[in-house]
Amino acid sequence: MFQILRVFHINLQHNINKFMKSLQKKIMDRFMVHLKNSDYEPKDAKNILSNSRDLTYGMTVTIRDCRVSSKFIELDVSVHQNNLELLLEKLTSIGQIDHSRHIIEEEIEKNQLIKDGIFYFNNERFWECHEALEGAWKQCTGDEKELIQGLILVAAALVHYQKDENTICLSVLGRALKKLHSKSGEYYKINVDMVKQKTIEMLDKKEIFTFPF
């Protein structure tokens, strides 16, 4: 009888712990943290991710990804909002804080989403570009929808480049080119022919680079 009660108690405590961890995750806020990049490259992304997790050990925080651009070290984090300043302070040994953006679901009209996507792409914030353009994509149909999907895939490919996942990047660029193949002209000041040319160049040379829309 004692053993049965003991097992029940252990299982109950385990379930309580799981519930509390799940509850903590639900009440955490998601932020895109941008640290100023001095001399890091995409090949350093995995080491930076590991280092950032070590620096924040003991905090209730999830650092799920690291991406490195020429301007920023981008960390995708979830943390309680009142612990954000402490988190940023702990990360300063990697790079000085440039800014952090609270990621929340918003109702934004298509034109603004495309403008936001262009801004993010031109600032090498490709994950945010991907998210903005995906919101616009959901509001489109026909050829426009396929064009935006091609642009989304270009941004998604460069997200992988920033994580030092070049093979995946090139594979996704190939998918992007298929979507953009029959598209041309200008779309919201995006030179579609130029985007296709840059994509073809990277695929032909197996060399990845960033460029503005």
pLDDT value, residue 165: 99
CA distance 22 to 182: 46
Tell whether 211 is covered by a domain: no
CA distance 102 to 135: 17
Tell whether 176 is covered by a domain: yes
Q: Range of 124's domain?
A: 110-205
Question: Is the model's pLDDT at 212 over the cut of 70?
Answer: yes
Provide the angle, in degrees to the nearest 10, between the axes of the packed helices 142-162 and 126-137.
160
Counting the structural domains of the chain, the total is 2
Q: Are residues 24 and 51 in the same domain?
A: yes
What's 92's domain CATH number?
3.30.70.260
User: What is the SS3 assignment for 77-106?
Assistant: EEECHHHHHHHHHHHHHCCCEEEEEECCCC
Tell whether 115 is covered by a domain: yes
- Per-residue pLDDT tens digits for 123-145: 999 999 999 999 999 999 999 99
pTM of structure: 0.85
Q: Which pair of structure tokens corresponds to residue 80? A: 């309680």
Q: Are residues 169 and 141 in the same domain?
A: yes
Tell whether 80 is covered by a domain: yes
Q: Is the four-CA dihedral 203, 75, 188, 108 of positive or negative sign?
A: positive
Question: Is the model's pLDDT at 74 over the cut of 50?
Answer: yes
What's 185's domain CATH number?
1.10.3450.10
Q: Are residues 87 and 115 in the same domain?
A: no
